[in-house]
Structure 1
Amino acid sequence: MDASAFSCLGNEEVVGIALRSLISGLTAYVEQCTYQYYGYEQGNLKIQAHMESRKRGPGFSKPPDILDVLLFCLSFWHAFESTPLAPLKNNLYEIKDIRNRWAHQEAIGDSDTFRLLDSVERVLGVIQYSGRGSGEDVQDLQRVSSMKRNHILRMASRVSECG
């Protein structure tokens, strides 16, 4: 999808694309940090126990549900406190909140869409900066950055039409 196509999308569609863009990179990052903090065996047990408590199978599903990854990360935050993700804890809560509203088909306004795009962009940026990102994550970051720019332009054009 090229950059101009994003300007034709509604907020709910933009939120869906942004959340899908975050899944792969955040899942890999969370798994790596968990294994680094707990060791591979204990980390795997933590992930399995978390998923079983959510009535899921062992480990993160393929593809994972972004909510499972966010809840795991926030539940075991001490494993992430010394990582580059630490300053973004509030952004993860914001992503979780907007994801839940989106999943329950509540209306998502322009400001919430912008906040989600900004938070997802920040998290993907940290994943890239940490050196744990992949080529796919770079594309995801570029996609979200492009959607954010287009969203800003769309909001600005609405303001200029009114004013």
Structure 2
Amino acid sequence: MAVTNHDRVGKSLLLLRAGLAPFVAREFENVYGDRAAEETSRFLSEDRFAANRSIAELDTGGLLKLMWEAWNDVFRRTLGQAERSLLSELRDWRNKWAHQEPFSSDDADRALDSVERLLTAVSAREAEEVRKLKLELRRLVYDEQVRTEKRRLGGSLIETAASTSLKPWREVVRPHPDVASGRYQAAEFAADLWQVYLGEGSDEYRDPGEFFRRTYLTESLKGLLTMAIRRLTGTGG
């Protein structure tokens, strides 16, 4: 099954959790010491999904929320405003992913890039794995753009060749005089066999030589004529 952009973002969020959890735990311990678990619960007390969980038990959404809520007390000591902006953005991407919303390639690229940047800021080794996901996505997008461009150029090259090298059909095939002069009538295209029987009608239907001169005998028409002759002569058909 093909990997979707939603899958790629989901994998990057798992890597984000793996890289952030040790950093968040370390920073809380540096600030609160033995009260780290208690303070974690305090910051997440209004979140029924994350309350009373240890940092190691929090999912990606819980870690991002904890970092956001404890920013001034804990994380502004080691991270800057750029990382706070990334934090806000990643909370939005995580919510979009959790609600099964589709991701365009541009959105997925942006989400992967932001995950990589935040992981790099906290010196997490998972940043390199996310970078590989991002570069693979960019390669796929580039390959598709190349294929699309080749198809577009291929069509235009054919059109260009046709317009520059092919002659108008009137210069290649000479129409019959009655067609060229405008005297051709569509009603005469199909023979009126009763008129042929009476010896009336246009020359191309009354004169066998003229008829076959102006009629291209396809294999099907040859077979039809052969069958008709056999039936008329009583020899089969």
Instruction: Name which one, 1 or 2, has greater alpha-carbon Rg.
Output: 2
For residues 89 and 158 of structure 1, the distance between their equivalents in structure 2, rounded to whole angstroms, comes to: 34
Contact 1:14 1:147 in 2 (8 A): yes
Residues 30-69 of structure 1, C-alpha deviations (whole Å, 9 max, x = no match): 12112223x2234322211233321145233654211111
Q: 1:126 aligns with which of 115, 121, 128?
A: 121
C-alpha displacement of 1:75: 1.1
Q: What pairs with 1:99-110 in structure 2 (closer than 5 Å)?
A: 99-110=94-105
Q: CA RMSD in A?
A: 2.1
2:82 matches 1:87 = yes
Q: Which residue of 2 aligns with 1:25?
A: 19
For residues 95 and 54 of structure 2, the distance between their equivalents in structure 1, rounded to whole angstroms, comes to: 19
2:143 matches 1:157 = yes
Taking a change above 3 Å as real, the CA distance of residues 61 and 72 of structure 1, as seen in their structure-2 partners, is: closer
Contact 2:112 2:130 in 1 (8 A): yes
2:131 matches 1:145 = yes
Q: What pairs with 1:37-52 in structure 2 (closer than 5 Å)?
A: 37=31, 39-52=32-45
C-alpha displacement of 1:23: 0.6
Matched length: 147
Contact 2:9 2:97 in 1 (8 A): yes
Contact 2:90 2:114 in 1 (8 A): yes
Q: Which residue of 1 aligns with 2:211?
A: none
Q: 1:117 aligns with which of 101, 109, 112?
A: 112
Secondary structure of the residue that 1:53 maps to in structure 2? coil
Residues 114-133 of structure 1, C-alpha deviations (whole Å, 9 max, x = no match): 111111111221222xxxx4
Give the % identical residues.
23
Q: What pairs with 1:51-90 in structure 2 (closer than 5 Å)?
A: 51-55=44-48, 56-60=50-54, 62-78=56-72, 79-84=74-79, 86-90=81-85
Taking a change above 3 Å as real, the CA distance of residues 104 and 117 of structure 1, as seen in their structure-2 partners, is: same
TM-score (norm 2): 0.56
Look up the equivalent residue of 1:27 and give its one-letter code: A
Residues 100-157 of structure 1, C-alpha deviations (whole Å, 9 max, x = no match): 01110111111111111111111221222xxxx4xxxx2x222211111111111212
For residues 117 and 138 of structure 2, the distance between their equivalents in structure 1, rounded to whole angstroms, comes to: 16
Secondary structure of the residue that 2:58 maps to in structure 1? coil
Unaligned runs of 5+ in 2: 150-237
Contact 1:85 1:123 in 2 (8 A): no
TM-score (norm 1): 0.79
C-alpha displacement of 1:70: 0.3
Q: 4+ residue stretches of structure 1 with deviation over 6 A?
A: none
Which structure is richer in relative contact order (CA contacts within 8 A, separation 6 or more)?
Answer: 1
Taking a change above 3 Å as real, the CA distance of residues 88 and 61 of structure 1, as seen in their structure-2 partners, is: closer
